[in-house]
């Protein structure tokens, strides 16, 4: 009897532990797994990629379709070259699409928004988006504003 109780309590602990792990997977992480799903790589050249880093989201119409892999300088154009990986299910981004660096909220994180163009040809792995809009740098905006105010006098 005593031995049975011991086995029962050990069994209950193990069930509780595994159940807690399952609950952590479902309830806490919402089934979010960084799956190594199929991706294809594209890149984009920005004049200014301030604040953008690896793992930043890439969105299309507000939906996350991929993430930034790396940000570097393109040695030929001296522009910021942003490498991204896009979910392979999203294989209908036309080649004249544009990419812009957006900010979530006023002080939030930077992410890339893709605006799809009209062409029938689509972006494939290794393509570069040329039509880009750079990150909004608050200091530049303020100095521009001050300059304008000075001119109007």
Partner 1 sequence: MINLIADLGAGLLTRLVQIGQALLMLLQAIFVQPKASSLPRLMQQLFVVGVQSLIIMLVSALFIGMVLGLQGYTLLSAYGSEQAVGQMVALTLVRELSPVVAALLFAGRAGSALTAEIGLMKATEQLASLEMFGIDPLHRIVAPRFWAGMISLPLLVAIFSLVGIYGGHLVAVDWLGVYSGSYWGNMQQAVDFNEDVLNGMIKALVFAFLISWIALYQGYSCVPTSQGISAATTRTVVYSSLAILGFDFILTALMFGGAV
Helix (H) or strand (E) holding 32: none
57 within 8 A of 67, measured Cβ to Cβ:
yes
**Closer CB to partner 1, 71 or 90, in the complex:** 71
Residue 131, classified by CB atoms within 10 Å of its CB into exposed (0-12), middle (13-18) or buried (19+), is middle
44 within 8 A of 132, measured Cβ to Cβ:
yes
**Closer CB to partner 1, 30 or 126, in the complex:** 30
**Closer CB to partner 1, 63 or 149, in the complex:** 63
At its nearest, how many Å lie between partner 1 and the CB of residue 13?
Answer: 5
User: 10 Å Cβ neighbour count for 80?
Assistant: 21
**Closer CB to partner 1, 10 or 141, in the complex:** 10
80 within 8 A of 56, measured Cβ to Cβ:
no
At its nearest, how many Å lie between partner 1 and the CB of residue 5?
Answer: 9
At its nearest, how many Å lie between partner 1 and the CB of residue 25?
Answer: 5
At its nearest, how many Å lie between partner 1 and the CB of residue 137?
Answer: 19
Which residues of the shown chain bind partner 1 in the complex (CB under 8 A)?
3, 6-7, 9-10, 12-14, 16-18, 20-21, 23-25, 27-34, 53-55
**Closer CB to partner 1, 29 or 143, in the complex:** 29
At its nearest, how many Å lie between partner 1 and the CB of residue 53?
Answer: 6
* DSSP-assigned states of every residue in 43-98: EEEES--TT--TT-EEEETTEEEEEEEEEEE-TTT-SEEEEEEEETT----BTT-E
The strand pairing partners of 97, in sequence order, are none
């Amino acid at each position: 009897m005593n031995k049975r109780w011991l086995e029962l309590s050990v069994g209950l602990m193990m069930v509780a532990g595994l159940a807690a792990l399952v609950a952590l997977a479902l309830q806490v992480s919402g089934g979010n797994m960084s799956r190594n799903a199929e991706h294809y790589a594209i890149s984009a050249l920005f004049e200014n990629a301030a604040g953008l880093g690896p793992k930043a989201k890439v969105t299309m119409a507000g939906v996350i379709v991929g993430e930034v892999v790396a940000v570097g300088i393109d040695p030929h154009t001296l522009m910021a070259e942003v490498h991204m990986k896009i979910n392979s299910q999203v294989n209908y981004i036309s080649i004249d699409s544009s990419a812009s660096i957006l900010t979530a909220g006023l002080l939030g994180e930077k992410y890339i928004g893709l605006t799809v163009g009209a062409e029938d040809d689509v972006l494939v792995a290794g393509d570069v988006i040329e039509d880009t809009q750079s990150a909004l740098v608050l200091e530049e905006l303020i100095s521009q504003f001050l300059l304008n105010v000075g001119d109007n006098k």
